Amino acid sequence: MYGGYKYIEESYEPKKDEFKLLVWVKGKKRFEELAEGVAAESSVGTWTKISTMNKKVFKDYRARIYRIKKVSESSGFVWISYPYEHFDERNLLQFYASVFGNVYGLKELEELYMIDLYIPLRYQRLYDGPKFGLEGIRRIVGTHKTRRPHVGTIVKPKVGLTPAEFAKVAYDAWVNGLDLVKDDENLVNQKFCGWKERFDKTNQARDKAETKTGEVKLYATNITDMDRHKMYERIDYVAESGNKLVMMDVFIMGFALVKEMVEYAHKKGLAVHAHRAGYAALHRSGFGYDFRILSKFYRLLGVDQLHIGTGVGKMEGNPYYIKKLHDVMVKEELEEEKFLGFFKQEWDEDIKAVFPVASGGLDAGKVEGIVAVHGKDVVIQAGGGVHGHPKGSKAGAKSMRQAVEAVARNIALDVAAKQAKELKQALEYFGYIRKEEVERKIKEIKESSSLLEEMVYDKGLNFLVALRD
């Protein structure tokens, strides 16, 4: 009981149009009371019994706890269902305020972590999803037949270069084989590299690179700004330039502005590259929620490319977990994975697949490993792995394209390196992660899933997070 009402109903079977949430709770009271507190505060209840509660409200709009798994007297996993009617249609902010809002402030909680969210088809149909997505961007670049991974770079250093210096680095990357060049998350319109001048010079370099190579090249310029009018102006400017892509720091911007700007960019014929900078603040502690939930929201909101992690680079996320995130982005139906807390999730046929982006600590020697995790439908971005190549950025770009072309033809990188000196230099300098090594890790985790599930339910959130990271 919480506030005089009961929310645990283990015999309840969630309806197909209800939302489902998997939560970890730990605190200063009995586990069951903590669980009911979360369900109550995120739906219709409060800390005490109230005279205004009526049978219809409690029957039709309350959250129901339909499963629990106690780990200790004061901690465990909670499965909660929410009726569709509880939420304001087409208003993700109201949903967020309900489910991810007040509950985090309950003082009896020592940990509250949202692990996964099931989004029903009925709610998905209120959103447009990506306009271009995976297949649309492949058609822009011209890889819809070859199906090779896309390969790109982030201009380094992150900030400090002048527009001319930036454009020169971008040109060198494009003419030496890369498909994509992007701004980093913290470069927008600083005095030393103003947005318009940087875009003009880099877009001219892009045009020149396309003429030289005969390939379509993309520039993901960061349009993120506190002033939405500046973002509109930048989208208009990019659309008039012939470039096909803009970048947004989507977590920083918030859902409402993301929806507004994605819709406008799509109206102008531009695809959206979504950077997730900042999300880890709500991802790597006992209070927060898993990135898989955000990734589902961003697919609904229509981003066309999204950073989801690598599985082999410097960012957190083991290969199996990142593979599951990849599936969230590209598959029409995602299978349940109990030990990592993934719900079975189907997507409406009109919600297109997002092109997953792997970025963070990558170089040519990790390309095989990336493809072992993501398959070939992935954008592989290397910053330090291009500009930190022992022979410079040009050689770094060549090594990445050589690696991608090799894996696209199922040729091992050490074999391809015999005919590609830049790739050989990269393997010698950065090292080489073979696909078999990554595939073995994924297989071992999959084959141990039943045992790992038991251990998660025995040890709790920390063990689950250790598996994920």
Q: How far apart are CA 217 and CA 350, in angstroms?
A: 27
CB-based contact 39:52 (threshold 8 Å): no
Q: How far apart are CA 455 and CA 446, in angstroms?
A: 14
Q: Which of 413, 358, 420, 423 is nearest to 386 (CA)?
A: 423
Catalytic residue among 86, 259, 273, 275: 275
Residue 267 CB contacts under 8 Å (≥ 6 apart), including other chains: none
CB-based contact 7:45 (threshold 8 Å): yes
Q: How far apart are CA 179 and CA 140, in angstroms?
A: 11
**Could you count the other beta carbons within 10 Å of the beta carbon of residue 117?**
24
Catalytic residue among 20, 26, 131, 156: 156
C-alpha R_g of the chain: 24
Residue 334 CB contacts under 8 Å (≥ 6 apart), including other chains: 324, 327, 328, 342, 343, 344, 345, 346
Half-sphere exposure of 5 (CA within 13 A, CB side): 26
Q: How buried is residue 450: exposed, middle or buried, by Cβ count under 10 Å (0-12/13-18/19+)?
A: exposed
Kindly give the residue spans of alpha helices, DSSP state H, lying in 160-254: 163-175, 195-213, 228-241, 250-253
Q: How far apart are CA 256 and CA 157, in angstroms?
A: 31
| Residue 275 annotated as catalytic | yes
Q: Which of 243, 279, 235, 239 is nearest to 261 (CA)?
A: 235
| Residue 156 annotated as catalytic | yes
Residues with catalytic annotation?
156, 275
